[in-house]
Amino acid sequence: MRNSTNAAAAGCCTLLPLLLFSVGAGAAGVPPALLVFGDSLVDDGNNNALPSTLAKANYFPYGLDFLGGEATGRFCNGKTVIDALCDLFGLEYLPPFTSTGQDGGASLLGCVNYASAAGGILDETGQHLGERFSLSQQVVYLETNLDTIRSSSQLTIGYEQFLTRSIAVMVLGSNDYINNYLLTPLYDSADKYTPEEFADLLINHYTRQILALYSVGVKKFLLAGVGPLGCIPCMRAFNQGQCVDQVNQLVGLFNQGLRSLVDQLNADHPDAAFTFGNTYDAIQDMIDNPNKYGFTVMDSGCCGLGQNKGQITCLPLLQPCGNRDQYLFWDAYHPTQAANLVLAQRAFNGTQEDVYPFNLQQLADKLIY
């Protein structure tokens, strides 16, 4: 299993799972802030300021369909899932943390994004691509900024209520497979751990960071599962255009563990609320039922080179497809804006098949004491 899996992943160096603040009491059903942690799926420019990283999207045609057509550092043609959630909640879009200065300052009390392309749950994940913020670093950045938030005169509600009513959105795990477990011989994780052991390792590390956030007062969490990585163009490109089932099975182990963790956390912490975002099934539904979403191309990137436009990801000035709203994937690894809008909507007001046990509207309405 590992040989075929790693062969398909050999050409895949993903730039795939942030933190944002929006001050104020928030209207009914609107959190005062989203606290979002993640990777290139939600990075909106942090890696632009990291000089030694290869994981950047600060060039055309990235951002082609974003406001003004500017390449902001988002790994997409347009809006990320977080941008779409901000639209749904009526929150402003977020500047990247690296644009505010390391102490955040006053701008921290507006909106700040800590996501970092190539970052993962494990600190070593993505290290071959250079600088990035791992999950533990992103959590530390929040912790070091708490005093600034606490003392701010801009808060219209109490500091504790601000944290209690905010929602932590966590989008991580993809890199820990593509830029770690599947990337031999650069990483020895596949030699040290069985698939089950590696999924447990990720969940254990993830749990520690979640509890660190809980310990400083964050009480509402959306934990997004990992999508069907075996079906991204990069994987298909090295598997004769087909999904790599073994990779999807690996991801399934992690997602099962994450959903079980949500049940455990809700049972152990009745003063908090945790929910699981079923990203895998949402994307799989787009692959299986493209007509429902207006998609016509599910197996290739809109911008890229080689088989399935996935052997080489979107390069500077490369001409993308013209019918971007009909593509599920923008480049070798990331979904299009069209797909992100679907994912955000399902997380926002979907059923328990989409997000369990609460959708984000329900999570925002929950009273936490």
Q: 84-143, pLDDT tens digit by residue?
A: 999 999 988 877 888 876 544 444 554 578 899 999 999 999 999 999 999 999 999 888
147 is catalytic: no
The CATH code that applies to domain 2-278 is: 3.40.50
DSSP labels, 150-214: HT-TT-SS-HHHHHHHSEEEEE--HHHIIIIITSTTT--HHHH--HHHHHHHHHHHHHHHHHHHH
Neighbour count for residue 54 (Cβ, 10 Å): 16
186 Cβ partners below 8 Å, 6+ apart?
A: 128
d(CA 26, CA 41): 26
Query: What mean pLDDT do residues 11-19 have?
Result: 38
d(CA 205, CA 298): 33
**Does the pLDDT at position 51 exceed 90?**
yes
Q: Which two structure tokens, joined as six digits, stand for 31?
A: 């959190």
Higher local confidence (pLDDT), 11 or 30? 30
**Does the pLDDT at position 18 exceed 50?**
no
Check: CB of residue 73 under 8 Å from CB of residue 330. Answer: no
331 is catalytic: yes
Note the Cα 264 to chain centre separation in Å. 22
Q: 196-240, pLDDT tens digit by residue?
A: 999 999 999 999 999 999 999 999 999 999 999 999 999 999 999
334 is catalytic: yes
Q: Which of 40, 116, 174, 189 is catalytic?
A: 40
**Does the pLDDT at position 333 exceed 90?**
yes
Which pTM does this prediction carry?
Answer: 0.92
**Does the pLDDT at position 13 exceed 60?**
no
Share of the chain above pLDDT 90, in %: 76
d(CA 69, CA 48): 17
Check: CB of residue 90 under 8 Å from CB of residue 30. Answer: yes
**Does the pLDDT at position 327 exceed 70?**
yes
Residue 149: pLDDT band by 50, 70, 90 thresholds? confident
Query: What mean pLDDT do residues 304-310 have?
Result: 98
Q: 252-275, pLDDT tens digit by residue?
A: 999 999 999 999 999 999 999 999
Q: Which of 184, 105, 191 is nearest to 149 (CA)?
A: 105
Q: Quote the mean pLDDT of the chain.
A: 90
**Does the pLDDT at position 38 exceed 80?**
yes
Check: CB of residue 353 under 8 Å from CB of residue 278. Answer: yes
DSSP labels, 222-269: EEEPP--GGGSHHHHHTTTTS--HHHHHHHHHHHHHHHHHHHHHHHH-
d(CA 129, CA 76): 19
Q: Which of 83, 299, 325, 334 is catalytic?
A: 334
Higher local confidence (pLDDT), 155 or 286? 286
Q: Which of 44, 65, 325, 331 is catalytic?
A: 331
Q: In this structure, what DSSP letter does residue 311 have?
A: S
Is the dihedral angle over the CA atoms 326, 41, 37, 12 positive or is it negative?
A: positive
**Does the pLDDT at position 277 exceed 70?**
yes
Share of the chain above pLDDT 70, in %: 89
HSE-CB of 199 using CA atoms within 13 angstroms: 20
Check: CB of residue 45 under 8 Å from CB of residue 51. Answer: no
Q: Which two structure tokens, joined as six digits, stand for 209?
A: 């960071």
Domain assignments of the chain as residue spans, ordered by start: 2-278
